[in-house]
Amino acid sequence: MRCGLLAEPGNRVTLFIFPFIMTMWMSLHHSPVLGPANFLGAQDYVDMTCDGRFWSSLWFTTLETLLDTPPIFVLAFVLALLVNTALRGIGIFRTIYFIPSSSAWARPACCGLGC
């Protein structure tokens, strides 16, 4: 038996399929806040591929992803291993490590209350 929010067919349509179709529709139209949408077709995509800023942005994003992701993954893996070991004083490290995630629920609760 599959459980979970995304297992329901209605949730798949609501959370993935409908937003995807709307994104595609909006990317092919000029949609002002007030007034009718004008069909543009793929002209924005053609203009984008001819723009040098697009290619430099794409290269920067690719390079940043390739250079930033492995060190972050290694650091996260080392911290996960450290949290899971039985060392002297590891309880203090675990407390400091998990305080932000365990107290995150209190911040919205205190919002506007002067906490």
pLDDT in tens, 2-43: 555 555 667 777 778 888 999 999 889 888 888 888 898 888
Let me know whether 61 and 103 are in one domain: yes
**Which token pair is 56?**
């430099």
Let me know whether 46 and 56 are in one domain: no
Q: Which domain holds residue 58?
A: 52-115
Contacts of 6 (CB under 8 A, 6+ apart): 12, 15
Q: Which of 22, 19, 27, 23 is nearest to 43 (CA)?
A: 27
Let me know whether 18 and 56 are in one domain: no
Let me know whether 69 and 111 are in one domain: yes
Q: Residue 40 burial (CB < 10 Å; 0-12/13-18/19+)?
A: middle
Prediction pTM value: 0.55
Q: Count of domains in the chain?
A: 2
Q: At what angle do helices 52-83 and 90-102 cross, to 10 degrees?
A: 130
Let me know whether 5 and 38 are in one domain: yes
Q: What is the DSSP letter of 44?
A: H
Q: How confident is the model at residue 1 (pLDDT cuts 50, 70, 90)?
A: very low
Let me know whether 79 and 104 are in one domain: yes
Let me know whether 19 and 69 are in one domain: no
Let me know whether 43 and 61 are in one domain: no
Let me know whether 89 and 101 are in one domain: yes
Chosen domain end from 34, 50, 66: 50
pLDDT in tens, 42-72: 888 999 999 999 999 999 999 999 999 999 9
Let me know whether 20 and 40 are in one domain: yes
